[in-house]
């Protein structure tokens, strides 16, 4: 099956191949873009000692965007992996004055059928773990509504709101043990948009620890599509623990395939993958512990 991707993303992929296999063909000095004066990464992988160090780095990358563009749009994720990132963002807000008052947020996903007040809904998660403790405007917060009466119409509206806000400047991602990003399960279209997805049994089992029983784990979720995610100007993907090692190996070093949705991140022009040492155990290449910035014409 063929997929159409933006030319810029294809160029970034070609650049990444050159960097890996023919580095002498690339410039070794810093130059400046003539079009956008824009930092250009392609995908980079950073290995940190532990989840706390991961969270600190991810939060600083997000904070840089907020400082540079106070009216930025952030895409946010849920689950245990981003918690250290949110803890550090809260610290930056309380101790260093990081201002979220003009920031707009869009969350990746939400379970279908859980009311906002349910302690496992992603509305509840975000307010308890981040929004209540920073000065974000509640009117600027967007989380998919799993209780929407007309879910397809809601999904179209959600996409329209992202466009209306000017697009996502920085998107935070986790990754499932099967390589899913958001709730885009294996086999998802690489050009997909916000929609309802049926959750794989493995994903439900991974999330069962948050519910009283497997029967309570929702079977459906609203999720941003892979195409929606790839439209973001910058991506950060986080993974920790040995249980994510195979997914990270495929994401960073495997072929791009819809069967491992996270591999599409290789095509993004500005993506940073931050993992801890257990999640990096199956990687075969050498990766740094700190980000680099490369600017090209």
Write out the catalytic residue numbers.
109, 178, 180, 185
**Distance, CA of 285 to CA of 16 (rounded, Å):** 14
**Distance, CA of 19 to CA of 10 (rounded, Å):** 14
**Distance, CA of 247 to CA of 81 (rounded, Å):** 15
Neighbours of 89 (CB within 10 A): 24
> Are the beta carbons of 53 and 60 closer than 8 angstroms?
no
Buried b (16+ CB within 10 A) or exposed e, 183-197: bbbbebebebbbbbb
> What DSSP character marks residue 199?
P
Question: What stretch of H or E contains 15?
Answer: helix 7-21
């Amino acid at each position: 099956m063929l997929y159409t991707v933006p030319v810029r993303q294809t160029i970034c992929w070609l650049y990444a191949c050159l960097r890996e296999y023919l580095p002498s063909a690339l410039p070794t000095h810093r130059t400046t873009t003539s079009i956008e004066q824009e930092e250009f990464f392609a995908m980079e992988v950073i290995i940190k000692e532990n989840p706390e160090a991961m969270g600190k780095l991810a939060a600083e990358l997000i904070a840089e965007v907020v400082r540079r563009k106070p009216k930025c749009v952030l895409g946010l994720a849920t689950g245990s992996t981003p918690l250290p990132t949110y803890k550090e963002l809260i610290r930056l807000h309380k101790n260093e004055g990081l201002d979220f008052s003009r920031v707009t947020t869009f969350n990746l996903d939400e379970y279908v059928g859980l009311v906002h007040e349910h302690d496992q809904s992603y509305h509840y998660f975000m307010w308890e773990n981040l929004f209540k403790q920073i000065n974000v405007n509640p009117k600027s917060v967007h989380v998919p509504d799993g209780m929407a009466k007309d879910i397809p119409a809601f999904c179209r509206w959600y996409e329209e709101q992202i466009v209306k806000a000017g697009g996502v400047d920085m998107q935070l991602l986790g990754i499932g043990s099967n390589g899913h990003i958001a709730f885009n399960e294996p086999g998802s279209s690489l050009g997909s948009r916000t929609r309802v997805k049926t959750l794989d049994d493995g994903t439900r089992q991974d999330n069962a620890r948050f519910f009283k029983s497997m029967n309570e784990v929702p079977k459906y979720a609203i999720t941003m599509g892979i195409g929606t995610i790839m439209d973001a100007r910058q991506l950060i993907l986080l993974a920790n623990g040995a249980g994510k090692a195979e997914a990270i190996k495929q994401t960073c070093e495997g072929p791009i395939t819809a069967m491992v949705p996270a591999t599409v991140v290789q095509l993004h022009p500005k993506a940073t993958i931050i993992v801890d040492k257990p999640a990096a155990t199956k990687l075969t290449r050498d990766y740094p512990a700190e980000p680099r910035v490369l600017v090209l014409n």
